[in-house]
Amino acid sequence: MCAVDEKGWRIQQSEQHGSSKFDQTHPRAFARFGIALADLSEKWFPDALVFALIAIIVVFVAGLILGSTAVELVTDFGDGFWQLVPFTLQMAMVIVGGYVVAVSPPVARIIRRLSEVPKTPRGAVAFVAFFASVSALLSWGFSLVFSGLLVREITQRTRVDYRAAGAAAYLGAGSVWALGLSSSAALLMATRESIPPVLFKLSGIIPLTSTIFTWQSMVTTVVLIAATILVAYFSAPSDGHLRVAESFGTKIEQPAIELEKSRTPGEWLEYSGILTLLICAIGFGYLARVFLTKGILAALDLNTYNFLFIMLGMLLHWTPRAFIKAVTASVPATAGVLIQFPFYAGIFGLMTKSPISAELSRFFVRVSTQGTYPVMVSVYSMVLGFFVPSGGGKWLIEAPYVLEAANQLHVNLGWVVQIYNAAEALPNLINPFWMLPVLGLLNVRARELVGYSVLQFIVHVPLVLFLLWLFARTLPYIPPALL
């Protein structure tokens, strides 16, 4: 017979003595490590914005050390602050599109069916980790919302540790998302209109067939997903060591998009699918033309990708009123992107307009060889990711000197993008910035989940570094003019 104590731990009632005590079963060592990290993170983790603000100070001081004046650096920061406005909107629309599709009635029904599959606490956590990882290859925005809703449904059917399950819902954004179709860096480098002139001179257009669709990238993705699921399974608490949703004061209610009926003739079209059908026919007709003209891989850039999800979301919600209610519900999840990306743009201005970019390029060439370059760039990108948790925004900061060094060392430029993609996802497991949509859905704080993602980070770092180094040796250097 079991109950839940004031801290949310599952308690076993002794039927013979009528007293309560903690279940005497001890978790395995891996699970104990996960519990300890989770407890520690609840006390010590700051907000995501703090990391970005610290990065600005660090880069500013570095600029002063390298000879720039304070006036020059202040100007560079201010001039760069609004430089990424189009890209900021594109990233916000990734979240909106993913959210709208995930909460649509057909997808919601799929989530309810899936939630009935896992029967054990550990199996449930591994199940969430699998779907979080696989769906992140399609869209990190969709993955966060889809997996968060899956956790909410599962907790109504299966006793599961809420911290471990919540962290599992985030694992797609912390492991393989950048190796899939929503890779900001890969899509940006495949989109001529999005590539800043300084990058285009270094690389030209790098098609997706040279990045996420290489066999090396696909093998890396499969290995990382397998590792993610195994760590999630063996680190999840079970039996007497569960912390259930109730311990966080969370009342599980699914976010349904409920509609009242139209009250006036003027509202009739808002509750009808006629306009949706016509607009989606036009929208999907445009997509078909683009794909037939350019080919699917060449046409799949950020704009096309977001357009596809918006059209799909509109179709799945069917009426304009249901669609706009879903969009309205998605807006809070974009707040972090909208306010923090301008600060990343300011860092981009500091890095590219001061001597920092040139110095870093020379540094990588000086300390690297063709063989060690993948590891050096991976470590650097991972460290910078703690302060700039943005796949696309951070790529714009790193790319000028990373690509320049790669050209000098004759490292395959497509694989350089994948080196960045795999490595930059690692700090997401610690920096809680991209957790924001999941946190809102689960009504928890980042510090309550990040302990289990830190454990994933410890396992993934050596594995990612090895795979990036190994596969770099299999790809030849191709000059930018031939890409």
Cα–Cα dist 215/154, whole Å: 35
Q: Please determine, for residue 66, whether its predicted confidence score (pLDDT) is greater than 70.
A: yes
pLDDT tens readout for residues 260-304? 666 666 677 778 888 899 999 999 999 999 888 877 666 666 788
pLDDT higher than 50, residue 8: no
Task: Annotate 383-413 with DSSP letters as a single string.
Answer: HHHHH---HHHHHHHHHHHHHHHHHHHT--H
Task: Report how far residue 393's alpha carbon sits from residue 405's, in angstroms, rounded to the nearest whole number.
Answer: 20
pLDDT confidence of residue 24 = 40
- Residue 183's contacts (CB-CB under 8 Å, 6 or more residues apart) are 177, 211, 212, 391, 421
For residue 281, the model assigns a pLDDT of 95
Q: Angle 335-353/85-102 helices, nearest 10 degrees?
A: 150
pLDDT above 90 for 4: no
Per-residue confidence (pLDDT) for residue 332, from 0 to 100: 80
Number of helical (H) and strand (E) elements in the chain, helices listed first: 22, 3
pLDDT band at residue 174 using 50, 70 and 90 as cut-offs? confident
Above 90 in pLDDT, residue 31? no
pLDDT score of 127: 95
pTM (two decimals): 0.75
Count of residues making up the chain: 483
Domain ranges (residues) in the chain: 2-14+16-249+269-482
What does DSSP say about strands 2-4 and 10-13: parallel, antiparallel, or unpaired? Answer: antiparallel
Give me the pLDDT at residue 262, please: 60
How do residues 370-399 score in pLDDT, each as one tens digit?
Answer: 888 899 889 888 887 776 666 776 787 788
Cα atoms in the 13 Å half-sphere on the side-chain side of 395? 25
Q: Are 228 and 133 in contact (CB under 8 A)?
A: yes
- The answer to whether 73 and 350 have CB atoms below 8 angstroms apart is yes
The whole-number pLDDT of residue 53 equals 86
Query: Could you report the per-residue pLDDT of 303-329, keeping only the tens digit for each?
Result: 887 898 899 999 999 989 889 989 998
- The widest CA-to-CA distance across the chain, in whole angstroms, is 80
> Half-sphere exposure of 402 toward its Cβ, with a 13 Å CA cutoff?
27
For residue 389, the model assigns a pLDDT of 62
**If you average pLDDT over residues 24-36, what whole number do you get?**
61
